């Protein structure tokens, strides 16, 4: 018996059917993978949006994107946003807060724009510990161009205060820390001030260490806040001014020192993202914050809108900082408060009235780490 081969047209049709079937199966597999990934992403985003804390939905989505390797697009969108709506030039600011008592013993912070506004740069005492002055606040315009904005300044006396680093649920994340991600009610009676910490750890170019645990490695030479077990705060370059030891409670690094030895870093206005972070750029005039120490040891915190890295450094230098470092930026994350007492109740106050976060932000769970100043032992 002779076997007959199928006609060429039939063979080609069969091959086409097999190819179509393979493509259909491949597309179905790809579709299934995409569906699974989308479902996982939706679950992940849902968790981010419903996590405890006071972060806005926009801030939560941006942080989720940065944490899932979409930091570049987020930064690009932020740059477009700032370019489209730069801060106002000229004008006059709304009156700043007037709480507290003016202190003539402290030299006013020189104004960047002249003539100075009434009360501009004048320190006002807002808190005391056992009768000793503990905290002062003032406001100044950020520079001679953006004169309709006010930057808040907070001055703290480490001689009567203890400092604590509170880890956030996302930065540094994890569990089992000795400090909670909020100021608990039991500690609010002695609370004097709170303020935000630095960038996310992936953007900080530095490390985080607390309770003997290293979350990210510490970088030699990085700008560093060191908290001792007895509540002392030190600021300097890691490995030169501050370093490891048995009394260290926490270490938080962020970028490089903006001010060192009383001098502003020579590359403060450069476009180098290696020195000042890869966020929106150091030349952008946005919400920024920073911390410094004076020659006498006082701790300074500055926060406000329409600040570049240069104008922030100049402001801290005029306030007396001999060392200083930038903390976090962008309105969602810049937040400083001081606390008063009224009828035995601790009352929070924003350092600047235009901060987006509520004054009691750190009475609720925080996704980012922050610092608190409380009445020291005495």
Q: pLDDT at position 208, please?
A: 98
Q: Where are the domains of the chain?
A: 8-84, 101-375
What is the mean predicted confidence (pLDDT) over 82-86?
A: 68
pLDDT in tens, 175-234: 999 999 999 999 999 999 999 999 999 989 999 999 999 999 999 999 999 999 999 999
The model's pLDDT over 228-281, given as tens digits with 9 standing for 90+, comes to 999 999 999 999 999 999 999 999 999 999 999 999 999 898 765 566 655 566
The answer on pLDDT for 41 being more than 60 is no
pLDDT band at 15 (very low <50, low <70, confident <90, very high): confident
Residue 88: predicted pLDDT: 85
Return the pLDDT at 26. Answer: 66
The count of C-alpha atoms lying within 13 angstroms of the C-alpha of 234, restricted to the half-sphere facing its C-beta, is 19
Q: Tell me if residue 293 falls in helix, strand or coil.
A: strand
The C-alpha atoms of residue 340 and residue 373 are separated, in whole angstroms, by: 13
In the structure encoding, which two tokens stand for residue 167, read together? 């880890």
pLDDT score recorded for residue 302: 98
d(CA 23, CA 27): 6
Q: Is the pLDDT of residue 65 over 90?
A: no
Most confident of 20-34, 82-96, 224-238: 224-238
- Mean local confidence (pLDDT), 321-350: 94
DSSP state of 266: T
Residue 190 CB-density burial (10 A; 0-12 exposed, 13-18 middle, 19+ buried) = middle
Residues 303, 146: Cα–Cα separation, whole Å: 15
Query: What's the whole-model pTM score?
Result: 0.86
Instruction: Return all residues near 335 (Cβ < 8 A) that are at least 6 apart.
Output: 195, 196, 303, 355, 357, 361, 362, 370
């Amino acid at each position: 018996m002779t076997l007959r081969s199928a006609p060429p047209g039939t063979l080609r049709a069969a091959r086409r059917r097999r190819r179509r079937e393979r493509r259909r199966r491949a597309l179905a597999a790809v579709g299934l993978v995409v569906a699974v990934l989308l479902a996982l992403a939706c679950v992940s985003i849902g968790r981010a949006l419903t996590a405890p804390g006071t972060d806005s939905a926009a801030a939560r989505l941006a942080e989720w994107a940065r944490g899932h390797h979409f930091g570049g697009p987020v930064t690009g969108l932020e740059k477009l946003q700032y370019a489209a709506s730069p801060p106002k030039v000229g004008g006059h600011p709304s009156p700043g807060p007037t709480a507290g008592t003016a202190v003539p013993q402290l030299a006013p912070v020189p104004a960047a724009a002249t003539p100075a506004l009434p009360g501009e740069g004048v320190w006002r005492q807002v808190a005391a510990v056992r009768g000793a002055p503990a905290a002062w606040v003032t406001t100044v315009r950020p520079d001679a161009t953006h004169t309709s904005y006010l930057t808040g300044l907070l001055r703290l006396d480490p001689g009567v205060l203890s400092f604590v680093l509170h880890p956030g649920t996302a930065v540094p994340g994890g569990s089992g820390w000795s400090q909670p991600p909020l100021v608990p009610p039991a500690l609010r009676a002695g609370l004097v001030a709170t303020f935000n910490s630095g960038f996310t750890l992936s953007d900080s170019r530095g490390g985080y260490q607390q309770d003997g645990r290293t979350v990210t490695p510490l970088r030699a030479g990085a700008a560093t806040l060191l908290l001792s077990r007895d509540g002392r705060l030190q600021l300097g370059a890691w490995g030169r001014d501050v370093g490891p030891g048995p009394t260290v409670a926490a270490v938080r690094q962020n970028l490089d020192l903006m001010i060192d030895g009383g001098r502003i870093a020579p590359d403060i206005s450069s476009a180098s993202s290696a020195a000042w972070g890869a966020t929106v750029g150091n030349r952008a005039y946005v919400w920024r914050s920073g911390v410094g120490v004076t020659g006498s040891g006082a701790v300074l915190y500055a926060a406000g809108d329409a600040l570049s890295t240069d104008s922030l450094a100049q402001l801290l230098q005029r306030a007396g900082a001999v060392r200083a470092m930038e903390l976090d930026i962008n309105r969602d994350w810049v937040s400083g408060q001081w606390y008063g007492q009224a009828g035995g109740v601790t009352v929070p106050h924003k350092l600047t009235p235009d901060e987006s976060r509520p004054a009691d932000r750190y009475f609720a769970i925080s996704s980012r780490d922050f610092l608190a100043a409380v009445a020291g032992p005495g």
